[in-house]
Structure formats: C-alpha cells, structure tokens
Structure 1
C-alpha cells in the first residue's frame, strides 16, 4: 500500500475562495489607524458604498464568501492554535444582530459562540469590569463574537455618569483619570490576548441618525418587530451627540496596531455585511492555517487501521 494513501485530496485553502475582484478596497478605507483627532461626522460616511458594487452582486459575493469563511473556520478548529474574537459595537438599530446572522450563517455552531452583553448582573458587579468578558473568551480553535463588550464601560458610563455610581468602585477611583486608565487597561488586555494567540477584530457599525430613525419607525409600524423597540431607545437617541463624542474618544485611544477598529458604513445593510465578511476572511487568510501534520508513527497506525477495516465487512 503506498505511503501516501491517506493524503488529503483537498488543499488547505478554501475550495470556494472569497471573490476578490475589486474587493481589496473594502478594507483600508474603514481601518482606523492609530492616531488622534478622529471625527465620525467628517471622516466616515454611514451611507458610503463602493461605486462599482450593486446590491445583487454584493449578495452573490457574500454568499460565496460565507462558504470560504466556513472552510477557514474548520481549519482554525483543526489547527487549534489560534482563536478569533470579533467585537461589535454600534448605536441601536445599526444592524449588529443581522450582520452576525448573515455573515456567520455558514459557520458550524460547534466552533462559534455569540455573547450579547446586557446590563451587568449583581454577580458581575462584584467583579472588575473585564471579568465577564474574560469568562466568555473563545477557546483555541474557536470564534467568539461579542455583541457589545467591555467597551460599554467607557461608553454608556460616560454618557450616563449615574451608571458609574452603581459600579461599586471605591469613590476615590472615580476621578478625572479613570477613562485614561481604562483606555490603557483595555489596550493591555487586548495585547495580552493577541500575544497568546487570540486575534481581535473590532467593528463599529456606523449608522446615521436619519437611518436609525427610519429603522426605529419600522420597528414600531411592523408588529413582528415591536419587541425590538422600547421607549428607552427613543430617549437614548436624544443623547446622540454625547455618544458620538465618547465613541470618537474611544477610537482615538483604543485603535491599536494589535487590535485596530474598523468603522463600517451601516446605512446599507447589504454593504455592511459584505465588508465585515471580507475583513474576517482576510484576517483568517493571513494566519496561514493548515491541517495538523501527523507523525510517521501515527501515519503507520492509520494505514494499519485502514487495512483492518478494508479486510472486514
């Protein structure tokens, strides 16, 4: 029996590669390079789309890309050295849920986990603010998705100072330097993850205030979407400018070389999904994933097992 009888007939690269025609320019415009002075209103257009892309073509490319992501996820799981953490932050109705649903639709549920972080529980408040996110980190070989994340602790707590008073911190720690400390803590936390094999991808879905209003009205007008809307959503919308200010400060301080932010136009959901999928695919492609190589001894054992199986009915 030839010694290569157990060689895989397929290659490690996806059999359905992500369509690359004119898609490379879907990454760099949205990458937030480490720099001060980011201005969402001036620098990032929520309604932007690539001029060469039509909705129908984008949907076809996304469908093909999802197959490629599924193959890379399998390689990630098989190699079992890296993990991938994907963080989504956005204003309400920006499309986080639908983006996760569509982009990850081909992923094996056994290799992916999604956590939606709501207001912290009493138990979580008895720990540091990174504790609950640390517990939810993906294992090696797996993809973890955070729908909101530890970044809420430098967003909502700044827009609503009364929330910080509920965090059970010693009063002397709630001072003027707390946000600078938290920026540093988060950057160090993410660098630690990267240094231990976890790739960190951070997406901000940048929806316009006008589009958010339309989506809120749709949730009110369509009975099957009523459950997705509450009066608090409208109240939070009144703090739009405050949120934009703290988001910009967050980008300026936490878009790092090891874990940069991507600010994705979110007024057109079909374009949002394609860009997010393309960035995830590109990051997995850069890992040079491959199936584990087995030892000569293991190979001989497999050949023996194959011979036994073939000699018996």
Structure 2
C-alpha cells in the first residue's frame, strides 16, 4: 500500500471528488480484521512503547470527519490497543464560558500530549474553521482588527499552520486524518444507529439536521484541507466508506510516522551499568 497516495500535496489545492470514498482494489474485510490490522497494531504497539520509554518526542493526531465518518471506530480498533500511559485522548467539545474569553487556540494547550505520548484529538481546533462558517456563528468580538467575516478564515488558516509548525519545531509531530465518507454511506450508518438499539446512544438528532448542509460542508472541507496541508503537518484523506481499510491506513501511517521518529529504549551509562551489575549480584546472593 502506498500511503503517500492518501496524502494531500501541500503545494496544490484539492477537490474531494479526486479522493475516492471507497477503494475497489483493496484487501477483504476478513483479511484486514484477522491478519493485516493485528500485524500492524503489534508493530505500532512496539514503536509506541519506545516512544513512551524514550520520552523525547510526542505525536499529535487530528481526526476530522462528519458524523458517522469513522473517527470513534479508529480510536477503538487502533489507538485503544496502545499503552494507556502513553496515550492522551480528547473529544473536542463546544467551548466553555471561560474558553470563550480567550483566543480560540488557548484551550488547545491543555489537550496536547506530553513527550512520550500520542495525543488523539477526536475533532480539534479545525472545528473553529468549520461549524462557525457553516452556521455563521462567528461573533464580532473575535474578528481581528481590519478583517471581516470573509477574510477571517484565511487568517485562521495561517494561525493554525503557525501553531502546528510551532508544535513540530518543539518535538511534537502533527498528523491529520480526514475521513472522507460519502453521503449515501453516512445515511446508512445513521439509519443503523437508529434501528439498532445497541447503537441508539451514538445517534444525535442534530446529525440529521447537519446533513442538510452537506454541500456547504464539502466546500469548506476542501478549502480547509487545501489551506492547512503542510509539509510539517500533513493531511491524509481516508476512503471512509471502507471502514476497516480506513483503520488499516491509519495504523500504517502511524507506523511510518513513528519509524521516522525512530524512538529507542533508553540504555544505561557505564556508571549505571556497574550499579546494575552490583544490584543483580546482591539479589542473586540473597
């Protein structure tokens, strides 16, 4: 699998129609579930342990999608297998009254992982350039001086790019996944949530209301992805109709990221090794 085929070229704008929501030439779901994903998860776990043990760098993972796009399932089937101490998962919520009194990126710092951790953002700071734009929710008090509502989004794109470059330059790699789901498959998944009592809890009536803005969302996603795909914080567009294949792609991209970081288990210095040898001898002589 060529993972780079899912990566957005940061030098060019995109159209989501150019990124398929399903891939014909892919492994079967059975092969993915029973062979490929278990193998990739084992490799990912190994690398994650090294990242946690070394504690020099961290990884920020952004998951963005419309409802029923597959974000939660990627967390459940891929990231939940990792060492819990080295994982920080956050579900991005509406800003609190306190958060509204600050700049829109202020609350992101508490959501960031520590060195040695992988931080999962289930939705993220990108919500600040999506929903307010669809529903015209941007208050006058947050518009920068000498800007208007039409130009403020370009300003925010630049600010987000600067924020992600800041993270990268300080040892925190940023990887972003967009779950590209078709309108038909989203409908089927929402219907399943309604009809299956065990999945009713996943359904929100707001999901149906948001579908009325499908075309607006697609336009905004294209603009967002085109303006925030960068070399230091790339976007990967996943064929989210293929839920198991999308999860596998996530795992393989994460392996590639961690292999590039190349974390290592810490080793003892010469003095420490002498103390270790003494401790071993003491315990063995008990």
Q: When the two structures are aligned, how many residues end up with a matched partner?
A: 284
Which of 162, 180, 185 is equivalent to 1:188?
162
Which consecutive aligned stretches of 4+ in structure 1 deviate over 4 angstroms post-superposition?
Answer: 170-174
Match of residue 187, structure 2, among 198, 213, 216: 213
The residue number in structure 2 matching 1:169 is 142
CA distance in 1, matches of 2:282, 2:144: 71
Aligned counterparts of 2:92 and 2:226: Cα–Cα separation in 1: 23
Which of 90, 97, 105 is 1:115 aligned to? Answer: 90
The residue that corresponds to 2:21 in the other structure is: 46
1:93 corresponding residue in structure 2? 68
Alignment partner for residue 153 of structure 1, among 128, 133, 143?
128
Residue in structure 2 matching 1:64, options 39, 61, 81: 39
Check 1:311–1:66 CA distance in 2 against 1; reply closer, same or farther (3 A cut).
same
> 1:1-313, aligned counterparts within 5 Å?
23=1, 25=2, 27-41=3-17, 43-49=18-24, 51-59=25-33, 60-161=35-136, 163-165=137-139, 168-169=141-142, 172=145, 174-312=148-286
Q: Deviations over 1:186-241 (max 9, x none)?
A: 00100010001101110001100000000111111111212222221111001001
Deviation at 1:82, TM superposition (A): 0.7
Q: Counterparts of 2:170 and 2:212 in 1: how far apart (Å)?
A: 41
Structure with larger Rg: 1
Q: Which runs of 5+ in 2 are unaligned?
A: none
The residue number in structure 2 matching 1:10 is none
Q: Secondary structure at the match of 2:268?
A: coil
Choose 184-193 or 98-107, whichever is displaced more.
98-107
Whole-Å separation in 2 of the counterparts to 1:182 and 1:233? 26
> Structure 1 residues 234-243 or 293-302, which shifts more?
293-302
Q: Are the structure 2 counterparts of residues 91 and 54 from structure 1 closer, same or farther at C-alpha, using a change threshold of 3 Å?
A: same
**TM-score, with length taken from structure 1:** 0.87
Instruction: Judge conservation of contact 1:87–1:201 (CA < 8 Å) in 2.
Output: yes
TM-align CA RMSD: 1.4
The 8 Å contact of residues 143 and 152 in structure 2, kept in 1 or not, is answered as no
